[in-house]
Structure 1
Amino acid sequence: MHNNLGLHFTTQRLIIRPLEEKDYESWLNGFVNRRPSQYRHDKGQVDMSDATEPWFSALITRQQQAIEADDLYIFGIFDKAHRHLGMLNIKNLSRDNFQWAEIGYFIHNQYWRHGYAYEALTELVKQTRDTLHFHRIEAHINLDNIPSIQLIEKLGFQFECVRKGFIFENEQWTDHYVYYLNTHDDDLQM
């Protein structure tokens, strides 16, 4: 039932694709083996006691429906040994004359500092342009999330603005930086 609509990408070290039923153990281990929080924007260890196989199956169904509706694309990041390293997502903000999306990403903290995020996001940007045909991609980042800012800048995203009171998190409206990349610019090196 769950097809990934051809959204299966590989890099030198990674497999990037929608989650499948067979991923349950690897996906769960990625979360269960997380280290304690390393800094403010790292969730650290996560309670996975409710993440049963039926719950995971329902999650996959919801994600597949979002993909089919062209609303949200969620990808697991796996290494070639099938370890679940993290997740990527592309949220459709607008199609029509805009072709505009937002990206999100995380790598489980036990796999940090191996270049996985950069490798996965480089491929995601390429596929966002070539496969999903988005023209503009945004990343919305907390003002003090320096590692994420450095990563997105390394990928060629440009700072656009600070959106004041942009997202409700930690019981308050929080400012975010907005970075953007126009994927059809002649100087895009992907």
Structure 2
Amino acid sequence: MIKSPRISLQPVEQVSSASAYDAVMSSRHGLAPWMHWLTSAYSLRDQQAFQARCAVLRGAGLEFNYGIVTPGGQVLGVCGLHRIDVLHATAEAGYWVRMDHWRRGVARRALTQLLDKAFREHVLSRVELIIDCDNTASIGLAEAIGACREARLQQRLFRDDARHDAWLYAVTRSRWSASRTR
């Protein structure tokens, strides 16, 4: 396995939009099947609008998106907490990593850091991952970090002009904390 660079999570609105756009475009082929927002018309302006929208949503406490960044400032992907339910202290997590860093531990480290933030900084009790049943890499990652598969969600996702089933995985603060102290 090729050694992976160190990473940190930075609020996505603070990272280079050009570097984030480069990460998207260099990985278009691998990301497009799973990312509904990645259309053939996706542009740098779209990336900048996404990052501006993230700043507003962060300020309102509605979403927390982070750039996955190397010490040199290269954006390797994005991860975040979405669909935050304040009453029940839950959220959905999502992520993507540029293709030239797949299978190098970047997604695992980013998701681990994101869950640490979810349970410590954002005081969530539960984080869910909704994963297309055909996305074997993300299923493997969810299981590797100790997420529990809870249900098959019928026709939950839309891609390739069709409805697709998804797996619901979840991580709770209590299980996460217990796994981190071992």
**Same fold, TM-score > 0.5, yes or no:** yes
TM tier relative to shorter chain: 0.7 to 0.9
Relative contact order, CA 8 A, sep 6+: which one is greater? 2
Distance 1:24 1:135, change over 3 A: same
Question: Identity of counterpart residues, as a percentage?
Answer: 22
- State the alpha-carbon separation in 2 of the partners of residues 30 and 38 from structure 1: 10
Residue 157 of structure 1 corresponds to which residue in structure 2?
147
Report Cα offsets for 1:40-85 as digits up to 9, x if no partner.
Answer: 5489x97576314xx5544332111111222211111111121110
* 2-structure distance, mates of 1:163, 1:59: 28
Q: Report the CA distance shift for 1:183/1:22 in structure 2 as closer, same or farther (over 3 A).
A: closer
- Greater Rg, structure 1 or structure 2? 1
1:166 pairs, out of 156, 164, 177, with: 156
Partner of 1:32: 25
Whichever residue aligns with residue 109 of structure 2, its letter is E
Indicate if the aligned counterparts of 1:129 and 1:184 stay in contact, CA closer than 8 A: no
5+ residue gaps, structure 2, are none
Q: Which residue of 1 aligns with 2:94?
A: 104
Partner of 1:65: 56
Q: Does the aligned pair in 1 maintain the 2:33–2:159 contact within 8 Å?
A: no
* Structure 2 counterpart of 1:167, one-letter code: L
List per-residue Cα deviations over 1:73-132 (Å, max 9, x = no partner): 111111112111001010134111x11110001101111121100111111111100000
Q: Distance in 2 between matches of 1:103 and 1:84?
A: 18
Q: For residue 72 of structure 1, what is the amino acid of its counterpart?
A: E
Is this contact kept in 2: 1:35–1:110, CA < 8 A? Answer: no
Paired AA for residue 71 in structure 1: L
Contact 1:31 1:46 in 2 (8 A): no
Indicate conservation of the 8 Å contact 1:15/1:80, yes or no.
yes
Aligned letter for 1:123? Q
Residues 92 and 49 of structure 1, relative CA distance in 2, 3 Å threshold: closer
TM-score by length of 2: 0.83
- In structure 1, the gaps of 5 or more residues are 1-11
Kept in 1: contact 2:18–2:44 (CA 8 A):
no
Aligned length: 175
Aligned CA RMSD, in angstroms, stands at: 2.6
Aligned to 2:7: 14
Could you tell me whether the CA contact under 8 Å between 2:12 and 2:78 is conserved in 1?
no
Deviation at 1:18, TM superposition (A): 1.5
1:89 to 76, 80, 89: 80
For residues 115-134 of structure 1, the aligned pairs below 5 Å read 115-134=105-124
Q: Distance in 2 between matches of 1:169 and 1:39?
A: 9
* Shift in alpha-carbon separation, 1:165–1:20, aligned structure 2, 3 A: closer
Change (3 A) 1:60 1:38: closer
Q: Secondary structure of 1:184's match?
A: helix
Relative to structure 1, the CA distance from residue 39 to residue 25 in structure 2 (aligned partners, 3 Å threshold; closer, same or farther) is closer
